[in-house]
Structure 1
Amino acid sequence: MSVASPPRVAIIGAGFAGIVTAIKLQRAGIDYVIFERSEGVGGTWWENRYPGAETDAASHLYAYSFAPYDWSRTHVRRAEIQEYLEHVAESFGVMDSIRFKETVDSVTWDDASCEYVVQTAAGESERFGFVVSAVGLFASPKFPVWPGLEDFSGEVVHTAEWDEALDVTGKDVAVVGTGSSAAQVVPTVAPHARSVTVYQRQPGWVLPKGDRDFSAWERRLFSLPMMQRLNRVRLYVRQERREWHGAVFRAGSRMNRRWENKARAYLAEVFADRPDLADALLPDYPFAGKRTVVTSDFYPALLRDDVHLVPKAVVSCTSTGIIDSDGAERKADVLVLATGYVATRFLASLQVRGRNGIDLNTVWGPDPYALAGLMVPGFPNFFIMYGPNTNGGLTVSNFEHEADFIVSQITRVLRKGKSQVDARGSVVSAYNRWVQHRISSTAWVDGSNYFASSTGRIVTQWPEGAAVYALVLLALRRLGTRVS
């Protein structure tokens, strides 16, 4: 049975992944609609408005290959990234196809019509031939369950849900966590707060970012698309050398030791006069065991007289303060939860039902899996961007390759006059055995990180570089799927 022509595609999310998919579909002449729960484009860069939010990646890499931009810095801040995505959406005619402030609650496959029924939070439903989830990996903030947290009388804010009206001027601020978001918040709020106390459960490896503003002549130079593309290639090759065959992720490898030594040298340099801080900030696990923090501002901020590091976990709260694992209480007016996301709960905010009404999260259990992160057998015409085991490498480049894969599958269905495409179960099983085998020799398996599910299986990370992922997607276009 063929889907009524022309079939439409529902894209859920208007961040980097959703926008590039829309552009690729548009070029292929395929109709689409984007559902976006927020008021604007940007995805995580619309939602994450905490002070100091910026990218770890170089700006010329953290952009679409086909859409160069006049970036102001080597590594740009949240507002500029969000402006870039608005610019791209408008320039490529995507904006008119976005339905803002529309949250998708569920997508349900109709076996009879070979379509998905997309249900929104407003109670409206609509049918689509294909669905692309572009909700991202970091969509569900992780909240602690400390005793007494609900009794804390001060202001509590998670970095993922920052209140822009929050004023920390002259206040005692407690920041829980020392990951990437905390490393950006602390240096930004410290000059305004009366004091900042940073609670560290486990230190992370930190590398200097080396970020700066582009000079006027650099901006003129990079205004030439060819020069910006050449710089992008240079940056791409540099990162691929580091991640080729997952070298930097494998504890004890020459590349891994090289970067660990860089991190150790940076730690020793900044805290040459504070051996107590140097000791407290030195990880006891191999480099890359958890996400590396890339910042040139966090370590210097910890040297301020009004910033205090507590290398202890938080265990509870009182109405006026925070209690650490040693039982010490410290007063606070503002509590900042830089506690990250529940990254292993893919599609936690979306119910997906496939053939015969099967529920995707039920099929997954605690260990999500997919064909190259994109397709799960039994859920035809449904694609997941930034899905299981795709985190890492060059994120935006990966999104472009994923979008190409999706468009190739849809056009294949249409060209053959068929109604659906599904992942081959045997290929999915073999592929995921290979991925887990590659992961088994990385530092991730022994690290305390957000990569592992409750069973200990690493379900978020890609163990190779971007080039290998692109080649895998090309190979799986036919080998990994079946059209019917």
Structure 2
Amino acid sequence: MSAPQHHVVVIGAGFSGIGAAIALDRAGLHDYVILEAGAEPGGTWYWNTYPGIAVDIPSFSYQFSFEQSADWSRTYAKGRELKGYADRCVAKYGLRDRIRFDTQVTAARFDDDTSTWRIELATGESLTARFVINASGVLTVPKPPDIKGVEDFAGVTMHTARWDHDQDLTGKRVAIVGTGASAVQVIPEIAPNVEHLTVFQRTPIWCLPKFDVPLPTVARWAMRIPGGRTVHRLLSQAYVELTFPISAHYYTTLPLADRAEKLGRAFLKREVHDPAVRDKLTPRYAVGCKRPGFHNTYLSTYNRDNVELVTEPIDRVTASGVVTSDGAAHDVDVLILATGFKVMDVDAVTFDVTGSGGLALADFWESNRMQAYEGVSVPGFPNFFSVMGPYGYVGSSYFALIEAQTHHIVRCLTQAGDRAASRVEVSTEANDRYFAEMMRKRGRQIFWQDSCSLANSYYFDRNGDVPLRPGTTFEVYLRSRRFPLRDYEFSA
């Protein structure tokens, strides 16, 4: 039996893939390759370059704990800075030679006879690996809108995740479909330049003020003294933990989201002058049911004479524009789709995954609901690990998730090496136990309040579950280091 070409294949060169590669190298597991569909590293921050793009978690938390930058220009970094941070990590840790760019994975299939994965590429090529780490993320592949006639539009169409910088919007009639997190950032940027901007809103978003300021000299100086970056990070992490993991997952005990709603309503009243427009922008669900927006000028943009908010449902797109259900036709030159990504869907994994016995991962989730042990492993899919699987992410910084999950994965791979095991698979009993724990704890989350049924939130999957982990970042950190390895079956 021939050996696989690689010990580990990492799929994706965003921050998840970068973090996984660094963790592998630190563990002495150097036989790996990273497969990346894009031409450069960065993942989300490579693909998404729309005007105004920035992180909505403070820069001090949105970075690896072991690679803290002293060069952030703002409290919330812009997209280009995050792309630069990815490039620096790749260069510093010597990863570029291990990345195959412009390499799109279309399928991964497990061979029970050899306990290896065959990775199929869009070029028709395939390669083999003992283990696969899915680090492909969820904010890179656009979700197409379910709107009749989009392909018939004769003007320019682009998704926020595939922004065409050759298009000059100056003096154009522009329509944007969606008011999620991307739209909240795009709309204030383009509104001053276009002739007319029509915003089609299905569900309003809670938008809260954002303490987004250039870092003063003293703060930048403090990041360069011993312990300075640690202090910044600890304060930032405490803020992040309070604003989502604690407020969302412990709502019945600490209803902090109620205070956030009061803040949101006050912000709306202050920013939006027209009471009718303000009412349209006011969500009917609690803060936290849906990912909120953080922006200081999004709401006030609707005070502009050239910005129109349309809440009538879209009936269809024609060659010249958008027609709503009331029959009104909105003629536009450019159609921008801010329709997000597949996040909590059974097909959110961007390639087909077929495990032991020919079982498709999407079919497993369709039949059994989305689930994964500690958010990493699924029974029936040996030697396959995910950085962002169901019930792994608590809602804080993605970097906290990446570091915890890659530690979990490396523990399994190291144990496999120690036992000379060629097959590592989480037991059904361990997975069932973990899933039952997630179901038991979710009642305290804000998502199960009555008003959340009105949120139209991507947090909810097609089964009505919210595959976010009901816990804190610190809990995830500890469990990644303490989960019992006996929950996995190691075999030759």
**TM-score, normalisation: structure 1:** 0.94
Describe the SS at the equivalent of 1:73: coil
Distance 1:50 1:251 in 2: 38
Q: Which amino acid aligns with 1:375?
A: S
1:75-474 alignment runs, 5 A limit = 75-224=76-225, 226-243=227-244, 247=248, 250=251, 253-271=254-272, 273-345=273-345, 346-365=347-366, 367-391=369-393, 392-445=395-448, 446=453, 447-459=455-467, 461-474=468-481
Residues 303-348 of structure 1 show CA distances to partners (whole Å, capped at 9, x for unaligned) of: 2221121223322122212122322222111111111112123454
Contact kept, 8 Å, 2:120 with 2:126, in 1: the verdict is: yes
Q: Which amino acid aligns with 2:362?
A: N
Distance 2:207 2:196 in 1: 23
Contact kept, 8 Å, 2:5 with 2:129, in 1: the verdict is: no
1:14 counterpart residue number: 13
Shift of 1:171: 0.2
Q: Which stretch shifts more, 348-357 or 11-20?
A: 348-357
Contact kept, 8 Å, 1:320 with 1:333, in 2: the verdict is: yes
Q: Which amino acid aligns with 1:407?
A: V
Q: Which amino acid aligns with 1:14?
A: A
Contact kept, 8 Å, 1:33 with 1:97, in 2: the verdict is: yes
Residues 124-159 of structure 1 show CA distances to partners (whole Å, capped at 9, x for unaligned) of: 222211110101022432222323322222111111
Contact kept, 8 Å, 2:4 with 2:116, in 1: the verdict is: no
Shift of 1:237: 2.0
Distance 2:5 2:340 in 1: 41
Question: What is the Cα-based RMSD across aligned positions, in Å?
Answer: 2.1
Summarize the Cα distance change of 1:145–1:394 in structure 2 as closer, same or farther, 3 Å threshold. closer
Contact kept, 8 Å, 2:372 with 2:431, in 1: the verdict is: yes
Gaps of 5+ in 2: none
Distance 1:242 1:210 in 2: 13
Describe the SS at the equivalent of 1:22: helix
Summarize the Cα distance change of 1:293–1:248 in structure 2 as closer, same or farther, 3 Å threshold. farther
Q: Which amino acid aligns with 2:291?
A: R
Distance 1:256 1:221 in 2: 32
2:487 counterpart residue number: 480
Distance 2:249 2:466 in 1: 17
Contact kept, 8 Å, 2:37 with 2:101, in 1: the verdict is: yes
Contact kept, 8 Å, 1:36 with 1:99, in 2: the verdict is: yes
Q: Which amino acid aligns with 1:420?
A: R
Residues 47-82 of structure 1 show CA distances to partners (whole Å, capped at 9, x for unaligned) of: 111111111010110000111111111101111101
Contact kept, 8 Å, 1:173 with 1:193, in 2: the verdict is: yes
Q: Which stretch shifts more, 194-203 or 102-111?
A: 102-111
Q: Which amino acid aligns with 2:384?
A: F
| Percent identity between the two aligned chains | 34
Summarize the Cα distance change of 1:194–1:245 in structure 2 as closer, same or farther, 3 Å threshold. closer
Describe the SS at the equivalent of 2:303: coil
Contact kept, 8 Å, 1:195 with 1:306, in 2: the verdict is: yes
Contact kept, 8 Å, 1:169 with 1:193, in 2: the verdict is: yes
Gaps of 5+ in 1: none
Distance 1:237 1:331 in 2: 47
Residues 11-40 of structure 1 show CA distances to partners (whole Å, capped at 9, x for unaligned) of: 000001100110010111112110001000
Distance 1:115 1:191 in 2: 55
Summarize the Cα distance change of 1:328–1:253 in structure 2 as closer, same or farther, 3 Å threshold. farther
Distance 2:247 2:267 in 1: 23
Distance 2:373 2:247 in 1: 19
Summarize the Cα distance change of 1:251–1:144 in structure 2 as closer, same or farther, 3 Å threshold. farther
Contact kept, 8 Å, 2:387 with 2:401, in 1: the verdict is: no
Contact kept, 8 Å, 1:251 with 1:257, in 2: the verdict is: no
Shift of 1:248: 6.2
Distance 1:451 1:106 in 2: 26
Q: Across the two proteins, how many residue pairs are aligned to each other? A: 481
Distance 1:248 1:127 in 2: 40
1:61 counterpart residue number: 61
Distance 1:450 1:244 in 2: 17
Q: Which amino acid aligns with 2:379?
A: P
Describe the SS at the equivalent of 1:462: coil
Summarize the Cα distance change of 1:452–1:77 in structure 2 as closer, same or farther, 3 Å threshold. same
Q: Which amino acid aligns with 2:89?
A: V
Residues 79-120 of structure 1 show CA distances to partners (whole Å, capped at 9, x for unaligned) of: 110110000110011111111111112222222222212221
Describe the SS at the equivalent of 2:143: coil
Describe the SS at the equivalent of 2:483: helix
Distance 1:207 1:115 in 2: 48
Distance 2:149 2:116 in 1: 48
Contact kept, 8 Å, 1:405 with 1:473, in 2: the verdict is: yes
Contact kept, 8 Å, 2:6 with 2:33, in 1: the verdict is: no
Q: Which stretch shifts more, 466-475 or 325-334?
A: 466-475
Shift of 1:438: 2.6
Distance 2:147 2:128 in 1: 43
Distance 2:318 2:288 in 1: 35
Describe the SS at the equivalent of 2:353: strand
Contact kept, 8 Å, 2:142 with 2:161, in 1: the verdict is: yes
Q: Which amino acid aligns with 1:47?
A: W
Describe the SS at the equivalent of 1:174: strand
Q: Which stretch shifts more, 244-253 or 231-240?
A: 244-253
Q: Which amino acid aligns with 2:214?
A: D
Distance 1:67 1:121 in 2: 34
Q: Which amino acid aligns with 1:381?
A: N
Contact kept, 8 Å, 2:253 with 2:444, in 1: the verdict is: no
Shift of 1:368: 2.2
Contact kept, 8 Å, 1:105 with 1:351, in 2: the verdict is: yes
2:27 counterpart residue number: 28
Distance 2:388 2:52 in 1: 24
Distance 1:81 1:45 in 2: 6
Describe the SS at the equivalent of 1:302: helix
Distance 1:442 1:120 in 2: 40
Distance 1:109 1:235 in 2: 42
